[in-house]
Amino acid sequence: MLAVMAWRNLWRRPVRTGLSLISMVLTTMLLVFMLSFQLGIYDTMKGNALRLLDGFAQIQPPGYLADPDIRKTIAAPGDLAAAARKVPGVTAAAPRASTYVILSNGELSYGGAVIGVDPTAEVQVSRLQATVHHGRYLAASDSDAIVLGDVLARNLKLSLGDRVTLLGSSADGGIAADSLRIVGLFHTGMAEIDRQVAEMPLARFQESFGLGDAANVIALSGPSLGAVQRAQPALTQLAQSQGLVLRDWAALEPALQQGITLDFATALFWYATLVIVVVFIILNTLLMSVLERTREFGMLLALGMRPMQIGRLVWMELLMLSVMGNGIGAGLGAALAAWLQVRGIVFPGFEGALALWGLPPRLYPTLSWTSALSPPAVMVACIALAGTGVFLRLRRLEPVPAMRAA
Amino acid sequence: MNAAWSLLMALAWRNLWRNPRRAAITAIVVAAGLFSVLTLDAMMQAWAQSSRDATLELLTGSGQIHAQGWLDDPVLDHRMPAPSPELSATLNAAPIGGWASRVTVPAVIQSEYKTLPLSLMGVDPASEARISTIPDMVVEGSYLTGPDDGEIVLGRHLLERLRTQLGRRVIVMAQAADGTLAQRGFVVAGVFAGNTAIEDGYAFTGQRTVQQMLGIGSDISEIAFRVPDNGQLGAAVTSLKAAAPELDVKPWTALSPMAAAMDSAMGSYVWIWLGIVFVLMAIGIVNTQLMAVFERVREFGLLMALGMKPRLILALVCVESALLVGLGVAVGFVASAALTWGLSGGVDLGGLAQGAEYFGGSRMLYPHFDMALSLREAALIWALGVLVALWPAARAARANPVEAMSHET
Amino acid sequence: MKPDTQVSPIVRCRGVTKVYRVGAVDVPALSGIDLDLAPGDFATLAGPSGSGKTTLLNMIGGLDRPTSGTVEIDGQEVTALSSGARAALRLHRIGFVFQAYNLVPVLSALENVALTLQLLGVGPAERAERARVALDEVGIGALADRRPAYLSGGQQQRVAVARALVTRPVIVLADEPTANLDSTNADGLIGLMSDLNRASGTTFLISSHDARVIDRSRRHIEVVDGKVVSDDRR
């Protein structure tokens, strides 16, 4: 009957309860939607940035991250890649070697990065092959072949089938040079990559740049970023056994990781102020509803009800109110997010800025248990916590003064 | 009328404190709401400023002029001649506050240890100083001395990666006008510290040195100009376009869409936030004031029975709300001003600096409390708060003396 | 005035005093009350405003502790009990009827009566049954599902009486139960209480200065300035 009383008590002041509900519904709805939206964008940003070239994690020689150098190598990349693929959560491991070279066509020369890849493994890690719009990507049987960023090719006045000359330094410090036939051109939309990157077969790279059987990194991929993150302990162990280090996505894309952290931390700060405002609104409502019922509580105490039971009654009212309000809010927010997850959101005028962050013009929220449940859970917890003050006050209630209260 | 007002004020003020806890909580709701709006505003402005600083004041300027095609593909083929007399005249006139011509080419820099790609920028130090803050950011050695300077200024991070140092030689290679690979040795004269992207991406030397190296005579690749009053930018772009119709004149909003997007997004975001906060505050105010009115129905009945007009009751409740909301607004205003003032020395984003750069800002934020804008927002919140309190006030004014006196409390 | 020694009393007050502190001033409300109530008594308690009747009622009801003296209810010393134990005592042994604010507004008449049974831990079926019987006894069984707002003042007080009796207490304390009623309803209510007293043998102590109530009582106690000044049995 306590629950029945609590429920009916809520509706003694329908306007007040309604307003309190609205404040919670609005806030939770907003928070669920915003959180889904943010997490969705973060996922897109991470996915787009990492799938293009980096992979979800990499095994590297120590110090390679700060200063990528062809002389920092992994001795037996094939065996290590095979071992990495056996780790649960990892589906692909692609050995790579890379260095900065001067690419030239006759008198024309531009600087760029050339990456030696194992085509079979590479296509499982990197999405670069999907951006090839002229010709084809590298194949396992290729030796005399290279794919270039389309801007780089244009600047060098090269087209499909032409030869490009690479000039750089080999692993032993000498001069290394090679000439390769262009089999494909790619366009990623990331200006730096289209202007500066070329990929060639790993075996040919090793030969031309005097690497022997070595590689510089092993790029890893899996069904999802989360799966690879869960495999991190095993991968770290594997890397350490070879005197190497594991670099997670945050290390590979520190700016992206920090950007996300910064954005998220800032957003959390504003969300917190919103939660504080709502908690105070509810606290005030609770306080008023308790004060105006002091005589009634006095009567219940006189009949033999314990102050704890009255506390429980009020507590139950508070919980019902907040669970209802936040539940409805979370439901609406989730529905909105789910709807837009299908439809997408367009921000007119922001397409350029979005492209700079590697985002498509149409953005999609991602509804998850975290985004749908954490805002209402935090709200209910904060409100319940704020209610303890009133609860403690009720425990000190004495029947005679209570019945005398105005 | 004056007497009535002073009576109202006295009554209202005392009524406010009949339930101090309730008044305090409502004031806190308003204060927290306004605090969040004002602080968000200050932070957003600081961010937008930092974003503008990071892009515009480092290199971009208020706008740039290029040959057609350069922006799509910044290579030597898309260069332009030195400004015509007509263009120079426009550049030297108001509202333009300064301009600088530059030669920028994609290049490769080589130390004994390694080879890295970057943009080589040939500048005239005197005019560059009017456009860009990089000359002031030299932390080691010195900036260039003139357009004929044959030494080079590099970013700190790049220097580390090249494993070279001040006074050592580096080699820069770039595509010359005749298609050959031009190559020249430079002594590192200065080291600048900016954001990582610029430290890694640019090397500066004398403009004429680059022109000679590339064999382009007096040709340049861009002109950057600065318009001190952002409001005049549109007019400046229009007159420059008229002076050089064959060239591509772009304001910073087109050159740095990210900074521009930030700029406009921030503004609308603050107003959206203000709207959300206001709705919540309004609920808080109405809820409290409705209750305050309900529990005083008898009292209003008595006041009416004594001859107080409903209009005056309405005014009384309004004044009470105005005081209550005003109190919250004042507290929120002072708290936000104090915080912003306390942080005006700069907020160091520290470990997240690269993240800030990723989103187009820089590691330091300098929040500034915009008094006029804040007062406007505070006044708006206050006025809207009083407006929603009309609902409970109207409830009070509808009190019927007879009914009110027998009202069950 | 002499204590009843034949049967052990339901209520035994000895030298009960109560001093309230109002600001910096001590206000004596009761100054040495000796009073016994026997099983089956139907007593009224009268006195001018501020005489201490309500305070005395609160003492006997275990709502308040005396400053000095002892109060025993059904052989149990109340003064020494913790507030929890006093709450249990009220629940099991005492029924209350107040002047106003008697009922929980969100509960129907039946639910109001059943509430105390629930606090006693009575199961749902039994408490519905007993509450219905109690409402029938006070003559408003037909209104069992109405909420207090839809009941007249007299009907509300009848529900309060039903609630007071449903736990089968040893004593029912009623504080000015007729104060807000017209004379017909007041007569009806006091008649009802008198009948129930006769039928069940439950002791009633009713504070009132309503002459019609005092006329129908079988024992009349008057309190002035915190002291019992007369105690007439008829």
**How high is the ipTM of this complex?**
0.80
Q: If you average pLDDT over residues A236-252, what whole number do you get?
A: 90
Q: Does residue A244 belong to the interface with chain C, where contact is any CB pair within 8 Å? A: no
CB contact under 8 A, A113 and B117: yes
CA distance A399 to A381: 30
Q: Is the pLDDT of residue A334 over 80?
A: yes
**Interhelix angle for A254-291 vs A294-303, to 10°?**
70
Q: How many helices (H) and strands (E) does chain B have?
A: 16, 12
**Using one digit for the tens of pLDDT, what is the confidence trace for C65-108?**
888 999 998 888 888 888 888 888 888 889 989 887 678 888 89
CA distance B297 to A276: 31
- Which of B119, B198, B343, B359 would best serve as a mutation to test chain A binding (most A beta carbons within 10 A)? B359
For B357, the closest chain A residue by CA position comes to A255
Residue B402 is predicted with a pLDDT of 62
Residue A356 is predicted with a pLDDT of 65
Q: If you average pLDDT over residues A264-290, what whole number do you get?
A: 86
- Nearest chain B Cα distance for residue A312, angstroms: 22
Q: Is the pLDDT of residue B203 over 60?
A: yes
Q: Is the pLDDT of residue B398 over 80?
A: no
Residue C1 is predicted with a pLDDT of 44
Q: Is the pLDDT of residue C131 over 90?
A: yes
Single-letter code of the amino acid located at A151: V
When the pLDDT of each residue in chain A is averaged and rounded to a whole number, the result is: 87
CA-nearest of C110, C148, C106, C145 to C131 is C110
Residue A273 is predicted with a pLDDT of 85
**Using one digit for the tens of pLDDT, what is the confidence trace for A290-306?**
888 888 888 888 888 88
Asked if B150 and B156 count as a contact pair (C-beta separation under 8 A), the reply is: no
A35 phi and psi, to 5 degrees? -65, -45
Residue B409 is predicted with a pLDDT of 38
Which of the other chains make 3 or more beta carbon contacts under 8 angstroms with chain C? Answer: A
Q: Does residue A404 belong to the interface with chain C, where contact is any CB pair within 8 Å? A: no
Structure tokens at B312: 């005056």
Per-residue confidence at A32, pLDDT binned at 50, 70, 90? very high
CB contact under 8 A, A1 and C96: no
Q: Is the pLDDT of residue B403 over 70?
A: no
| Cross-chain CB nearest to A305 (options C58, C89, C119) | C119
Residue B407 is predicted with a pLDDT of 44
Q: Is the pLDDT of residue B201 over 80?
A: yes
> How, if at all, do strands B115-123 and B202-206 pair?
parallel
Q: Is the pLDDT of residue A148 over 90?
A: yes
B217 phi and psi, to 5 degrees? 60, -125
Q: If you average pLDDT over residues A330-359, what whole number do you get?
A: 81
Q: Is the pLDDT of residue A403 over 80?
A: no
Per-residue confidence at A115, pLDDT binned at 50, 70, 90? very high
| Cross-chain CB nearest to B117 (options A104, A111, A261) | A111
Residue C83 is predicted with a pLDDT of 81
| Cross-chain CB nearest to C111 (options A1, A304, A399) | A1
Phi/psi class of residue A363: alpha, beta or left (left: φ > 0; alpha: ψ in -120 to 50)? beta
When the pLDDT of each residue in chain B is averaged and rounded to a whole number, the result is: 83
pLDDT: is B307 or A53 the higher one? A53
Residues of A in contact with B273 (CB under 8 A): 270
Q: Is the previous residue joined to B95 through a cis bond, with omega within 30 degrees of 0?
A: yes
Q: If you average pLDDT over residues C208-230, what whole number do you get?
A: 88
Residue C45 is predicted with a pLDDT of 92
Residue B400 is predicted with a pLDDT of 66
CA-nearest of C100, C92, C99, C126 to C207 is C99
For A296, the closest chain B residue by CA position comes to B409
Q: Is the pLDDT of residue C3 over 70?
A: no
CA distance C82 to C88: 10
Q: If you average pLDDT over residues A204-225, what whole number do you get?
A: 91
Asked if A174 and A99 count as a contact pair (C-beta separation under 8 A), the reply is: no
CB contact under 8 A, A273 and B35: yes
Residue A336 is predicted with a pLDDT of 93
First to last CA, chain B: 33
Asked if A5 and C104 count as a contact pair (C-beta separation under 8 A), the reply is: yes
CB contact under 8 A, C64 and A4: no
């000015």: which residue's tokens? C176
């229009």: which residue's tokens? B238
Q: Is the pLDDT of residue A358 over 70?
A: no
DSSP secondary structure of B20-31: HHHHHHHHHHHH
CB contact under 8 A, A296 and C115: no
Structure tokens at B249: 């004149």
| Cross-chain CB nearest to A19 (options B73, B287, B295) | B287
Asked if A104 and A167 count as a contact pair (C-beta separation under 8 A), the reply is: yes
Q: If you average pLDDT over residues B241-258, what whole number do you get?
A: 81
Structure tokens at A217: 């990194």
CA-nearest of B255, B254, B131, B145 to B190 is B145
> How, if at all, do strands A108-117 and A163-169 pair?
unpaired
When the pLDDT of each residue in chain C is averaged and rounded to a whole number, the result is: 87
Q: Report the b/e string of B329-353 with b at 16+ CB within 10 A.
A: bbbbbebbbebbeebeeebebeebb
Q: Of A63-77, B267-281, C139-153, where does mean pLDDT reach its minimum?
A: B267-281
Per-residue confidence at C133, pLDDT binned at 50, 70, 90? very high
Per-residue confidence at B172, pLDDT binned at 50, 70, 90? very high
Q: If you average pLDDT over residues B122-151, what whole number do you get?
A: 88
Q: Does residue C102 belong to the interface with chain A, where contact is any CB pair within 8 Å? A: yes
Structure tokens at A119: 């085509």
Cα torsion for B175, B177, B180, B183, to the nearest 10°? Answer: -60
| Cross-chain CB nearest to B261 (options A13, A112, A350) | A350
CB contact under 8 A, A8 and C107: yes
Q: Is the pLDDT of residue C4 over 50?
A: no
Residue A309 is predicted with a pLDDT of 86
Asked if A332 and A29 count as a contact pair (C-beta separation under 8 A), the reply is: yes
Residue A406 is predicted with a pLDDT of 52
CA distance C225 to C215: 23
Neighbours of C67 (CB within 10 A): 15
Q: Is the pLDDT of residue B103 over 70?
A: yes
CA distances A313 to A2, A305, A336, C95, Å, are 6, 11, 34, 22
Q: What SS3 class is residue C43?
A: strand
Q: What SS3 class is residue C223?
A: strand
Angle (nearest 5°) at CA B398 between B396 and B404: 75
Residue C172 is predicted with a pLDDT of 93
Residues in chain B, overall count: 409
Cα torsion for C99, C103, C105, C109, to the nearest 10°? Answer: -130
Residue B55 is predicted with a pLDDT of 67
For C61, the closest chain A residue by CA position comes to A302
Residues of C in contact with A301 (CB under 8 A): 87
CB contact under 8 A, A8 and C106: yes
Residue A165 is predicted with a pLDDT of 93
Residue A29 is predicted with a pLDDT of 93
C200 phi and psi, to 5 degrees? -105, -20
Residue A269 is predicted with a pLDDT of 82
Residue C210 is predicted with a pLDDT of 83
Phi/psi class of residue B154: alpha, beta or left (left: φ > 0; alpha: ψ in -120 to 50)? beta
Residue C173 is predicted with a pLDDT of 92
Q: Looking at the DSSP assignment, which residues form a beta bridge with residue C21?
A: C26
Single-letter code of the amino acid located at C160: A
Cα torsion for A126, A132, A135, A136, to the nearest 10°? Answer: 20
Per-residue confidence at A254, pLDDT binned at 50, 70, 90? confident
